Amino acid sequence: MPKISIRYQELGDAKRFFEILSNPNFIYFTSKPKSVQDEIKWLKKSQQLRKAKSEYNYTILLDGSVIGAVGIRIDKNRSFTGEIGYFVDERHWNKGIATKAVKLAEKEGFSKRGLTRIVILMQPENIGSERVAIKSGFQKEGLMKKAIIGTDGKKKDVFLYAKVKS
């Protein structure tokens, strides 16, 4: 059985992340690096955000190979709330990998970061991401109108899913 794990992101992940995020089928993910250098800059910023305890980003590994990422952004105004985001290489879609990665990140958020609430936002058309949230035990709380900016620069509606630590 394949082993799914997460670890803090490293600068060496930049090329693989760029390859994954350059896929034209990533129409719902709001980050599109223009080059490997852009991705390296983002990873350096990510390290600073982790030191500032405001964001924790992880690489998703399948049997030791980089296949995606998952992260938790801590709400600046409510430090007990985090938002999980994720992406997985298209070759590994619909295999439960994103769900496993979300569960691993959620465990980090609740047990190591002291969060009591974690949310996942996704565009209503992103059925795959919605399935991940549901399979991970998150509950749909509603539709947020014009809550994010898409890669096209336009404001987009998103579903809000959440899980509260019991």
- pLDDT at position 97 is 95
Query: What are the angstrom distances between the C-alpha of 97 and each of 37, 51, 100?
Result: 27, 27, 5
Give the range of the structural domain holding residue 125, as residue numbers without chain letter. 4-164
Say if residue 2's pLDDT is above 80.
Answer: no
CATH of the domain at 148: 3.40.630.30
Helix (H, G, I), strand (E, B) or coil at 62: strand
pLDDT in tens, 65-85: 999 999 999 999 999 999 999
Q: Over the chain, what is the mean pLDDT?
A: 93
- pLDDT at position 166 is 77
Cβ contacts of 49-58, under 8 Å, gap ≥ 24: 50/8, 56/8, 56/105, 56/108, 56/109, 56/113, 57/8, 57/9, 58/6, 58/7, 58/8, 58/9, 58/101, 58/104, 58/105, 58/108
pLDDT in tens, 113-149: 999 999 999 999 999 999 999 999 999 999 999 999 8
Number of domains in the chain: 1
pLDDT in tens, 34-45: 899 999 999 999
